[in-house]
Amino acid sequence: MLEMEAVQQRGFRNVYKDGQCIGFQIAYRSTYYRGISLSLSKGFRVLVDGEQFPREAITVTYEGETYTQDELAKAGHVQWNLDEPVMLNIAKPGGLKLGVRVVTVNWSHRISYIGSMPGVPEQTPAAEAGGPGPTGGTQEFGGGNCTRKLVLVR
């Protein structure tokens, strides 16, 4: 089963390659009420303890395939099913310090059955700590921020 919040504690860890810590990963479940094609995603943004990570620093792994955010935008035939979180891979040489970290993920997506409204950005904007509700933001209506204190142990 998955944790209720969009940002999952389970899966949160630093990432190593060839013995070097190159970044960290966060598992994220969609709390939208239905699964969507990956290409409807407007992108993921991450903020940890006040440090903003740009779009280019984040790749997305789903069911064994890893996508840059530009590649994600083209993945129209890949369904992001609700029972499977995506894994966000965030580049940060040296990774995060162990202990309690305040993590915010911002995610938004297009909604085909609502006419386009002015002022809504085409890409997910920078993450902002906070966000109403335990699942964070207004995910039913196209996305939002989810902030959680997570404990990093490795």
CB-nearer residue toward another protein: 117 or 153: 117
Contact in structure between 138 and 144 (CB atoms under 8 Å)? yes
Q: Which stretch binds another protein (CB under 8 A): 15-23, 79-87, 93-101, 145-153?
A: 79-87
Q: Is residue 99 a contact point for another protein (CB under 8 A)?
A: no
Q: Is residue 76 a contact point for another protein (CB under 8 A)?
A: yes
Contact in structure between 2 and 29 (CB atoms under 8 Å)? yes
Q: Is 141 exposed, middle or buried (0-12, 13-18, 19+ CB in 10 A)?
A: exposed
- Please give the single-letter amino acid code of residue 66: T
How many residues make contact with another protein (CB under 8 A)? 37
The least distance separating another protein from the CB of residue 19, rounded to whole angstroms, comes to 36
Distances (CA, A) of 117 to 77, 110, 114, 121: 26, 11, 8, 10
Specify which residues 109 forms β-bridges with: 41
Q: Is residue 39 a contact point for another protein (CB under 8 A)?
A: yes
Q: Is residue 64 a contact point for another protein (CB under 8 A)?
A: no
* 3-class SS of residue 38: helix
Q: Kindly list the residues in this chain that would bind another protein in the complex (CB under 8 A).
A: 1-4, 29, 31, 33-37, 39-40, 73-74, 76, 79, 81-83, 110-118, 120, 122, 132-135, 138, 140
